[in-house]
């Protein structure tokens, strides 16, 4: 990971099962929508060249499985992510509620250097459908409360806002990448049982 | 117990001492056992330990005066047992023998009698030799194992530690490996749990073991090393599987009764212990089951050598017949040459046949219901086999399709979808299918058809080419074994479907519904409602059948393919067989089985493609890419037409084919992969390659799949399978995969633990008590203690018998699905027993023996009364006790000794300990009397809300005390610390932290009165009170509707957070500075006046909030709870509190302590005289509760109402202190003070006596000994390591 070129951006798409993660990725990368995607098992993967601030960068988009029992596999994918895209389905309130846990989970598993300012982007997908259940205001409020996460309402089917959302994603990821330049490896590899004996005595011990 | 009489020529009198004698018998006791110490017994002990035979400590010998020979006729491990045998001899033999004439006659008669006794006893107790029984009881006593733990076998072994070899014995029981050696006074014990093994290996005679604690052991076994090794592997496997199956109760309990073995495997000849034989049989049975794909209930029952006649080759093939309750199987000695599975129920006749051929005599012919004869020859035990088959046939239970009530069937079973949605084969494809069909037909003619076909390598060759569509259902069902399950459970599927249809609002069903259109969307069958409905029914039925799996994504993909070729019910049974047999644990939580197999694949890559391994490992590729390969058998990555062929092979080969294909795919892309710079690139390479795999034999018209046109074709699936077989087919055996799985099962589970631990530590790293590494250790020890056999069994016991001491209602609601962090933490929740053990082993307060502090602390902490503490609560409970925050610790002590935590009856008991054997009923009556006599003790009478702001007052008190001591010339430096204590916020729940920064925590004890009565009698009248208690508690709680309002803050955390300086440290510091310049009491009182809060009016409705069982509720919304009500303490409790403090300090009271004690007694007395409503109760405000507080800058609020009252109290206190000092000075000289808690007159004058927490803290803090004793921080790491060592070495714990 340390050797990775700066022009490579790693983007992770998270969200509940069937909110349209795969569709969004494919709409963005291949400009195509199909209702024939299989449920993603493990993870799927695409790359796309994007131009951000006159720079050409390669965007690696990792599309993950939404079902909860696959979450423990997440660690492998989250490593070294530059941006995390949280997707919910505007017709499924639960998928919106779960954004919290997806975000927490990502922060815990990926342990980015600066969790407070790690770039997230929230996408409310399927706005083309009629039976909308999560209001824009509610979503925006949530995003604001989480350090002003950029929020887009998209439709992978109609291609609404997808391009714009991913442009933001790329931009934010690039920013993160620049900041993280010095920071190559992930930090705390906690070694159990190692050198616990030569631990210095605790400072706030008895003063008598 | 009686044993088969054994001749003894050498009596070795030195080793034994005679205990009882008669004319012909002597009862002896082994030296080195029991009390009789001395060098001699030590030597014998060593001798016993070193020699492989470990004799029982007691025995009875038969000897005659003139004979040199003695006979050992009975042995026993306890004196009682042997005396019983001795008495039997006395009653039954002594007289008879005395009447006999010759000694020879005596001996013959005795031996005969004993033999018959022995035989008789052993009839009802099959197999276990007396010798082994002795070993078992030795094992239990050496390692203090509970009765339930069963010994499997022992091995003489040498354990090398620090280069010194220790000769002794390895005891292998169901859950532990133990080692014991006793050499010249040095005893060594080691206990290792099977579930904690990380590595097991064997080199020659040395078995190497590494545990998850990084402890390493080497045992050298001269004999049976390989047996011991495979036993260890097997038990470890069972332990880990149990862990996957049921993480809350990870104890292996082997039920032998499942194995009703019949004759063939001769039990008599084997000298091995029953359990060992049983485990070996189980292992064999497992292999057998997997090989023939039999249902899980099948257990091998016997194995006989035989030759089978194969008509297609017209010859006999050697091999073995294997019998299980429902099947007769044959397996050739030559691998994969031929095998046969004959279901018992199809057997029509079994006949002997002798056609005179010399070579193939002893034949039997089995004819099945399809009139197919199977001829077996050269069966040596032909009679046995026939009788056994007859026996099995007579027991066979053929499930009949029950007469099912006709539910309103709104569905009908879908037949194979390919019938409706026909594939439009081109003429060429059609021809290919026909050709294949013809070849299969001819194969059927030669080898038979159906379950009983001869399975040979020929069939593999046919399968590899792809099964024709029409035969897929038949062949898949047979080779997957699904057909057996189906036939054994007729009608089950329909039942499940109908039951599932009635379930509403089910999480799994929602998930299923979401995935239905995303299973095989490209196939027209799944674009139609029929296909979708069938898929839904199958998945829902399976989720109902196996709730542990429920629904896992990927199941939809495989099931949809099954549905294309099989009817709905068959598809269901194939799915069942996939989840339960073919891909074990794959679809469970965390897809654990698939993760294990990823580990296996990783290792296979390392062995077979070693040049590539390092690179791939670095990229982390295998972990990332292969999960979908395993979970969908490549169906989500390879095109449908191609993956069908892999699926065909899969049913024949099992998971092996997945590994083979995976290896082949990686190998083909070797060069490309090596050039990859990162994981994404590698993933792309493999993705492209897999997409390009095509199947020229099965081309569907291209229109059905748009994506296909883009694919660049890479390889045909036929080549892929063929190459995979050639390259890896030989080396990858089922056995090898099993071995690797065992290893990676361990590693994967371990990795889960590590990941889990890391995450939890991350979540709690901001706690005020423990460092990161301490948290890790704490988690480790919690896990270990939870898994310890004893605690698990205790738990099971309490489940079974709720009346057994402190019982708590079970946790009401488990974490909802989706709440992964909850589930993660759940693994580290502890129940009362575990907490108590941890408390006693790790904290310094274990020294307190009079009062069970651990129990109080648990109840205090467990405010929701769930019976379990989560990790956050544990941190705060143990953390505070181990910390150096002495003021908080003392406060906690005070609280722990308040009723109802320390109930009246407990106080009573502690004061005059009763003999244990007292009648329970009597005690109950006494307890009742107690309450009748003393109504003031009941809850209502106790606390009334009081009006002093704890913080301000407390500070003032402390400062004043300090000042006084300063005046008196005593160094006051110890007092500064509490004033400086930083105002850490230690909410246990980090996420709620920003939500309520200025939350007012209420130290508030609440319970309805009837409850507390229950609580008070708790412990005295165990059964009654406990039963009532739980009920009452629940009722009480629900009545008050407090369940919902309990928030997630832990009480202990409140206590810790609410330092003496709730508002902010600056105020306190300012205070302290002021204190130093204070020169007279009026200044102090001003200070007090300015800092104190507005007086809170008593709110009588709250008074009955009695506190009980540790409910310190936190209700920020409730206006009445804005103040903390902490009742004053009564004298009895105070005396116990004092005793506890002394016990914790572990020293004799010194002058100052005594003085402080007397001061407080005096203070309590003076409190009686005061107006109770004003001064006898104190309200504590431990946390910042808002507007009444001094503002952020530490400036006192001006609205100080009634400053006089505080001042008055304060001055009174000062006076008391002064007086007391004088008094005690004189008194201690005049009369030797009685030690406080024993005072007999306490109860008489205790009425109305009470002391507030402020008074207590202020006084106690003035005693340097106590402060010194409480300021010490306990190093939890050392304590944990100590405990681990104790556990490992089976050292007794003192507490």
Contact B991 A104 (CB under 8 A): yes
Instruction: Give domain A8-185's CATH superfamily.
Output: P-loop containing nucleotide triphosphate hydrolases (3.40.50.300)
Task: Give the gap in angstroms from C-alpha A79 to the nearest C-alpha of chain B.
Answer: 10
Under the phi-then-psi rule, with left for phi > 0, alpha for psi from -120 to 50, and beta for the rest, what region is B899?
beta
pLDDT band at B703 (very low <50, low <70, confident <90, very high): very low
Q: For the purposes of burial, counting CB atoms within 10 Å of the CB of B997, is it exposed (0-12), middle (13-18) or buried (19 or more)?
A: exposed
Residues of chain B contacting A41 with CB distance shorter than 8 Å: 553-554, 557, 627-628, 631-632, 636
- Is the confidence at residue B834, as pLDDT, over 90? no
Please count the residue pairs, one from chain A and one from chain B, whose beta carbons lie less than 8 angstroms apart.
Answer: 142
Higher-pLDDT residue of B1270 and B899 is B1270
Disruptive mutation site among A12, A13, A42, A109 for chain B (greatest number of B CBs within 10 Å):
A42
Residue A93 has a pLDDT of 94
- Is the confidence at residue B453, as pLDDT, over 50? yes
Residues of chain B contacting A47 with CB distance shorter than 8 Å: 680, 684
Distance, CA of A124 to CA of A134 (rounded, Å):
9
Q: Other C-beta atoms within 10 Å of B1173: how many? A: 12
Q: What is the mean pLDDT of residues B1162-1173?
A: 64
Q: Which residue of A has its CA nearest to B1271?
A: A206
Residue B1216 has a pLDDT of 52
A3 touches chain B (CB under 8 A): yes
Disruptive mutation site among A72, A74, A92, A107 for chain B (greatest number of B CBs within 10 Å):
A72
Contact A196 B1277 (CB under 8 A): yes
Helices (H), B765-812: 772-787, 789-800
Question: pLDDT tens digit string along B787-798?
Answer: 776 655 555 555
Residue B1010 has a pLDDT of 36
pLDDT band at B11 (very low <50, low <70, confident <90, very high): low
Cβ atoms of B326 and B342 closer than 8 Å:
no
Distance, CA of B1199 to CA of B1089 (rounded, Å):
10
Q: What is the mean pLDDT of residues B502-506?
A: 86
Higher-pLDDT residue of B1099 and B961 is B961
Cβ atoms of B153 and B162 closer than 8 Å:
no
Average pLDDT, chain A: 83
Distance, CA of B360 to CA of B380 (rounded, Å):
11
Q: Which residue of A has its CA nearest to B588?
A: A69
Task: Give the gap in angstroms from C-alpha A109 to the nearest C-alpha of chain B.
Answer: 7
- Is the confidence at residue A166, as pLDDT, over 70? yes
Residue B635 has a pLDDT of 92
Contact B1272 A206 (CB under 8 A): yes
Distance, CA of B765 to CA of B990 (rounded, Å):
10
- Is the confidence at residue B844, as pLDDT, over 90? no
Residue B566 has a pLDDT of 94
Contact B821 A101 (CB under 8 A): yes
Residues of chain A contacting B677 with CB distance shorter than 8 Å: 3-4
Q: What is the mean pLDDT of residues B301-314?
A: 88
Residue B47 has a pLDDT of 62
Contact A69 B591 (CB under 8 A): yes
Contact B752 A72 (CB under 8 A): yes
What distances in angstroms separate CA B1173 from CA A119, B309, B1099, B1126, one per listed residue? 59, 101, 11, 14
- Which of B539-543, B771-775, B1019-1023 has the largest mean confidence? B539-543
Provide the ipTM: 0.85
Contact A45 B680 (CB under 8 A): yes
Residue A190 has a pLDDT of 45
Residue B978 has a pLDDT of 36
Question: What kind and span of H or E run contains B158?
Answer: strand B151-161
Question: pLDDT tens digit string along B91-121?
Answer: 888 888 888 878 888 888 888 888 887 777 6
Minimal Cβ distance to A17: which of B553, B819, B884? B553
Q: Are strands B2-8 and B830-831 parallel, antiparallel or unpaired?
A: unpaired
Task: Give the gap in angstroms from C-alpha A37 to the nearest C-alpha of chain B.
Answer: 6
Chain A stretch 124-163, residues whose beta carbon is closer than 8 A to a beta carbon of chain B: none
Q: What is the mean pLDDT of residues B646-663?
A: 94
Residues of chain B contacting A204 with CB distance shorter than 8 Å: 884, 1273
Distance, CA of B1143 to CA of A18 (rounded, Å):
62
Higher-pLDDT residue of B143 and B1146 is B143
Q: What is the mean pLDDT of residues B841-850?
A: 81
Q: What is the mean pLDDT of residues B897-921?
A: 60
Residue B789 has a pLDDT of 62
Higher-pLDDT residue of B266 and B650 is B650
A7 touches chain B (CB under 8 A): no
Higher-pLDDT residue of B864 and A4 is B864
Q: What is the mean pLDDT of residues A184-208?
A: 43
- Is the confidence at residue A177, as pLDDT, over 80? no
Residue B721 has a pLDDT of 94
A43 touches chain B (CB under 8 A): yes
- Is the confidence at residue A103, as pLDDT, over 70? yes
Q: Other C-beta atoms within 10 Å of B296: how many? A: 12
Residue B762 has a pLDDT of 84
Q: Which residue of B has its CA nearest to A12?
A: B680
Disruptive mutation site among B513, B532, B554, B827 for chain A (greatest number of A CBs within 10 Å):
B554
Residues of chain B contacting A81 with CB distance shorter than 8 Å: none
Question: pLDDT tens digit string along B325-343?
Answer: 899 999 999 888 999 999 9
Distance, CA of B1040 to CA of B652 (rounded, Å):
63
Helices (H), B1065-1202: 1065-1077, 1081-1091, 1131-1145, 1151-1169, 1172-1175
Task: Give the gap in angstroms from C-alpha A164 to the nearest C-alpha of chain B.
Answer: 24
Question: What kind and span of H or E run contains A168?
Answer: helix A162-179
pLDDT band at B576 (very low <50, low <70, confident <90, very high): very high
pLDDT band at B681 (very low <50, low <70, confident <90, very high): confident
- Is the confidence at residue B674, as pLDDT, over 50? yes
- Is the confidence at residue B823, as pLDDT, over 70? no
Torsion of CA B1092, B1093, B1094, B1100, to 10 degrees: -110
Minimal Cβ distance to A17: which of B514, B595, B777? B514
Residue B16 has a pLDDT of 79
Tokens for B1099? 């709110």
Q: Other C-beta atoms within 10 Å of A195: how many? A: 8
Question: pLDDT tens digit string along B592-621?
Answer: 999 999 999 999 999 999 999 999 888 887
Higher-pLDDT residue of B112 and A27 is A27
Residue found by looking up tokens 């296996």 in the block: B600
Cβ atoms of B170 and B290 closer than 8 Å:
no
Q: Which residue of A has its CA nearest to B1268?
A: A208
Minimal Cβ distance to A73: which of B627, B683, B761? B627
Distance, CA of A108 to CA of B995 (rounded, Å):
20
Percent of chain B residues topping a pLDDT of 70 = 67
Q: Which residue of A has its CA nearest to B627?
A: A42
Q: Which residue of A has its CA nearest to B622?
A: A76
Minimal Cβ distance to B627: which of A18, A41, A192? A41
Tokens for A204? 């706030």
Task: Give the gap in angstroms from C-alpha A71 to the nearest C-alpha of chain B.
Answer: 7
Q: What is the mean pLDDT of residues B987-1006?
A: 34
Contact B636 A38 (CB under 8 A): yes
Q: Are strands B164-173 and B176-183 parallel, antiparallel or unpaired?
A: antiparallel
Minimal Cβ distance to A39: which of B515, B625, B818? B515
Residue B932 has a pLDDT of 37
Secondary structure of residue B153 in the 3-state scheme: strand
Percent of chain B residues topping a pLDDT of 90 = 22
Reported as half-sphere exposure (CB side, CA atoms, 13 A), residue B1182 has a value of 27
Cβ atoms of B890 and B1263 closer than 8 Å:
no
pLDDT band at B401 (very low <50, low <70, confident <90, very high): low
Question: pLDDT tens digit string along B432-452?
Answer: 999 999 999 999 999 999 898
Contact A204 B1273 (CB under 8 A): yes
Residue B809 has a pLDDT of 36
Distance, CA of A144 to CA of B146 (rounded, Å):
58
Residue B790 has a pLDDT of 60
Residue B718 has a pLDDT of 92
- Is the confidence at residue B1092, as pLDDT, over 90? no
Average pLDDT, chain B: 72
Residue A204 has a pLDDT of 41
Under the phi-then-psi rule, with left for phi > 0, alpha for psi from -120 to 50, and beta for the rest, what region is B362?
left
Question: pLDDT tens digit string along B1050-1061?
Answer: 344 444 333 333
Contact B521 A70 (CB under 8 A): no
């Amino acid at each position: 990971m340390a050797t990775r070129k700066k022009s490579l951006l790693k983007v992770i798409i998270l969200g509940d099962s069937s909110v349209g993660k795969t569709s969004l990725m494919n709409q963005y990368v291949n400009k195509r929508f199909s209702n024939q995607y299989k449920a993603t098992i493990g993870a799927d993967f695409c790359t796309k060249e994007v131009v951000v601030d006159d720079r050409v960068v390669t965007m690696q988009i990792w599309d993950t499985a939404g079902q909860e029992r696959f979450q423990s596999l997440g660690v492998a994918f989250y490593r070294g992510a530059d941006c995390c895209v949280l997707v919910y389905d505007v017709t499924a309130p639960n998928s919106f509620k779960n954004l919290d846990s997806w975000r927490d989970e990502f922060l815990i598993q990926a342990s980015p250097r600066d969790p407070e300012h790690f770039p997230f982007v929230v996408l409310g997908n399927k706005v083309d459908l009629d039976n909308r259940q999560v209001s824009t205001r509610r979503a925006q409020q949530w995003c604001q409360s989480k350090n002003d996460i950029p929020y887009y309402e998209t439709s992978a089917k109609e291609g609404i806002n997808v391009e714009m959302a991913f442009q933001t994603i790329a931009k934010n990821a690039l920013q993160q990448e620049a900041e993280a330049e010095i920071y190559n490896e992930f930090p705390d590899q906690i070694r159990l049982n190692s050198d616990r004996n030569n631990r210095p005595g605790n400072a706030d011990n008895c003063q008598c | 117990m009686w044993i088969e009489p054994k001749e003894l020529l050498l009596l070795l009198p030195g080793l034994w001492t005679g205990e009882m004698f008669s004319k012909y018998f002597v009862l002896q006791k082994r030296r080195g056992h029991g009390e009789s110490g001395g060098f001699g017994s030590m030597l014998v002990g060593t001798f016993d330990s070193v020699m492989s035979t470990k004799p029982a400590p007691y025995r009875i010998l038969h000897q005659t005066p003139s004979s040199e020979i003695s006979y050992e006729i009975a042995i026993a491990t306890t004196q009682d047992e042997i005396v019983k045998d001795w008495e039997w001899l006395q009653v039954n033999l002594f007289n008879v023998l005395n009447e006999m004439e010759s000694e020879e006659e005596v001996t013959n008669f005795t031996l005969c009698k004993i033999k018959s006794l022995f035989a008789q006893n052993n009839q009802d107790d099959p197999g276990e030799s007396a010798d082994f029984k002795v070993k078992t009881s030795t094992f239990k006593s050496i390692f203090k194992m509970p009765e339930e733990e069963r010994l499997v076998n022992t091995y003489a072994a040498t354990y090398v530690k620090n280069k010194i070899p220790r000769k002794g014995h390895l005891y292998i029981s169901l859950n532990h490996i133990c080692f014991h050696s006793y050499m010249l006074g040095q005893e060594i014990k080691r206990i290792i749990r099977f579930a904690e093994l990380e590595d097991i290996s064997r080199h020659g005679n040395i078995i190497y073991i590494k545990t998850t604690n990084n402890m390493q052991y080497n045992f050298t076994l001269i004999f049976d090393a390989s047996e011991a090794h495979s036993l260890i592997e097997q038990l470890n496997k069972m332990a880990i599987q149990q862990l996957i199956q049921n993480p809350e109760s990870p104890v292996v309990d082997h039920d032998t009764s499942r194995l009703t073995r019949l004759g063939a495997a001769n039990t008599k000849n084997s000298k091995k212990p029953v359990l060992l034989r049983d485990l070996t049989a189980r292992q064999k049975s497992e292999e057998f089951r997997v090989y023939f794909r039999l249902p899980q209930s099948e257990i091998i029952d016997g194995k006989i050598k035989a030759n089978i006649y194969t008509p297609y080759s017209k010859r006999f093939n050697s091999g073995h017949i294997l019998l299980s309750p429902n099947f007769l199987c044959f397996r050739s000695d030559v691998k994969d040459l031929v095998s046969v599975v004959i279901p018992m129920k199809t057997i029509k006749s079994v006949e002997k046949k002798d056609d005179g051929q010399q070579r193939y005599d002893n034949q039997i012919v089995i004819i099945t219901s399809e009139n197919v004869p199977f001829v077996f020859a050269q069966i040596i035990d032909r009679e046995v086999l026939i009788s056994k088959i007859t026996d099995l046939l007579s027991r066979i239970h053929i499930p009949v399709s029950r007469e099912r009530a006709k539910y309103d069937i709104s569905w009908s079973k879908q037949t194979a979808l390919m019938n409706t949605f026909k594939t439009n084969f081109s003429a060429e494809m059609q021809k290919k299918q026909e050709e294949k069909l013809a070849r299969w037909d001819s194969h059927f003619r030669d080898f038979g058809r159906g379950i009983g076909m001869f399975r040979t390598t020929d069939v593999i060759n046919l399968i590899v080419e792809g099964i024709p569509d029409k035969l897929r259902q038949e062949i898949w069902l047979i080779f997957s074994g699904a057909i057996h399950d189906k036939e054994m459970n007729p009608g089950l599927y329909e039942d499940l479907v109908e039951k599932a249809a009635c379930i509403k609002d089910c999480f799994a069903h929602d998930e299923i519904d979401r995935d239905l259109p995303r299973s095989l969307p490209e196939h027209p069958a799944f674009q139609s409602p029929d296909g979708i409905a069938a898929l839904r029914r199958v998945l829902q039925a399976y989720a109902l059948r196996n709730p542990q799996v429920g629904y896992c994504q990927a199941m939809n993909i495989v099931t949809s393919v099954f549905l294309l070729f099989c009817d709905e019910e068959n598809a269901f049974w194939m799915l069942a067989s996939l989840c339960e047999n073919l891909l074990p644990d794959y679809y469970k939580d965390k897809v654990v089985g698939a993760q294990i197999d990823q580990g296996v694949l990783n290792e296979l890559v390392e062995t077979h493609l070693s040049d590539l391994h390092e690179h791939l490992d670095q990229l982390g590729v295998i972990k990332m890419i292969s999960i979908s390969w395993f979970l969908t058998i490549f169906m989500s990555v390879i095109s449908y037409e191609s993956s069908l062929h892999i699926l065909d092979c899969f049913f024949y080969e099992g998971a092996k084919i997945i590994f083979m294909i995976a290896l082949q795919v990686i190998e083909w892309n070797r060069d490309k992969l090596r050039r990859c710079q990162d994981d994404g690139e590698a993933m792309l390479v493999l993705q492209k390659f897999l997409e390009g795999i095509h199947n020229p034999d099965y081309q569907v018209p291209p229109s059905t799949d748009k994506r296909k046109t883009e694919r660049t074709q890479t390889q045909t699936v036929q080549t892929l399978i063929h190459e995979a077989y050639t390259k890896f087919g030989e080396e990858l055996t089922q056995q090898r995969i099993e071995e690797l799985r065992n290893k990676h099962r361990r590693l994967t589970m371990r990795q889960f633990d590590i990941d889990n631990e890391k995450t939890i530590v991350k979540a709690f790293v901001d706690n005020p008590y423990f460092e990161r590494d301490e948290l890790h250790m704490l988690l480790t020890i919690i896990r270990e203690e939870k898994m310890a056999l004893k605690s698990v069994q205790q738990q099971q016991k309490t489940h079974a018998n709720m009346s057994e001491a402190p019982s708590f209602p079970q946790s009401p609601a488990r974490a909802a699905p989706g709440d992964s962090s909850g589930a993660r933490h759940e693994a580290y929740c502890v129940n009362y027993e575990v907490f108590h053990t941890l408390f006693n082993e790790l904290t310094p307060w274990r020294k307190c023996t009079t009062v069970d502090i651990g129990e109080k602390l648990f109840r205090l902490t467990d405010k929701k009364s769930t019976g379990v503490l989560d990790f956050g609560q544990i941190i705060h409970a143990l953390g505070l006790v181990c910390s150096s925050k002495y003021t908080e610790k003392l406060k906690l002590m005070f609280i722990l000794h308040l009723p109802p935590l320390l109930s009246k009856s407990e106080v009573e008991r502690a004061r005059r300990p009763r003999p244990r054997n007292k009648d329970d009923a009597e005690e109950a009556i006494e307890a009742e009397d107690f309450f009748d006599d003393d109504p003031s003790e009941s809850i209502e009478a106790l606390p009334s809300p009081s009006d002093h702001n704890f913080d301000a007052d407390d500070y003032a008190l402390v400062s004043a005390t300090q000042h006084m001591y300063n005046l008196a010339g005593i160094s006051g430096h110890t007092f500064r610390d509490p004033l400086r204590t930083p105002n850490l916020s230690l909410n246990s729940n980090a996420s709620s932290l920003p939500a309520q920064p200025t939350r007012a925590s209420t130290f508030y004890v609440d319970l309805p009165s009837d409850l507390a009565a229950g609580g008070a009698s708790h412990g005295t009248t165990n059964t009654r009170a406990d039963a009532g208690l739980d009920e009452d508690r629940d009722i009480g709680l629900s009545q008050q509707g407090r369940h919902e309002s309990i928030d997630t803050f832990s009480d202990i955390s409140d206590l810790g957070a609410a330092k003496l300086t709730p508002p902010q440290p600056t105020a306190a510091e300012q205070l302290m500075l002021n204190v130093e310049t204070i020169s007279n009491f009026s200044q102090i009182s001003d200070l007090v006046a300015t800092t104190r809060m507005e007086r809170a009016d008593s709110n009588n409705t709250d008074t009955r909030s009695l506190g009980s069982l540790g409910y310190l509720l936190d209700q920020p919304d409730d206006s009445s709870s804005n103040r903390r009500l902490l009742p004053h303490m009564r004298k009895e409790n105070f005396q116990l509190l004092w005793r506890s403090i002394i016990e914790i300090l572990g020293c004799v009271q010194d002058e100052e302590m005594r003085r402080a004690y007397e001061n407080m007694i005096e203070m309590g007395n003076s409190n009686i005289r005061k107006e109770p409503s004003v001064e006898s109760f104190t309200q504590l405000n431990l946390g910042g509760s808002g507007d009444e507080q001094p503002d952020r800058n530490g400036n006192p609020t001006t609205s100080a109402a009634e400053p006089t009252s505080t001042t008055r109290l304060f001055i009174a206190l000062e006076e008391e202190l002064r007086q007391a000092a004088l008094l005690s000075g004189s008194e201690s000289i005049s009369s030797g003070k009685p030690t406080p808690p024993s005072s007999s007159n306490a109860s008489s004058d205790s009425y109305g006596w009470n002391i507030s927490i402020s008074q207590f803290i202020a006084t106690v803090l003035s005693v340097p000994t106590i402060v010194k004793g409480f300021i010490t921080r306990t190093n939890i790491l050392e304590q944990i390591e100590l405990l681990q060592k104790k556990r490992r070495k089976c050292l007794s714990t003192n507490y």
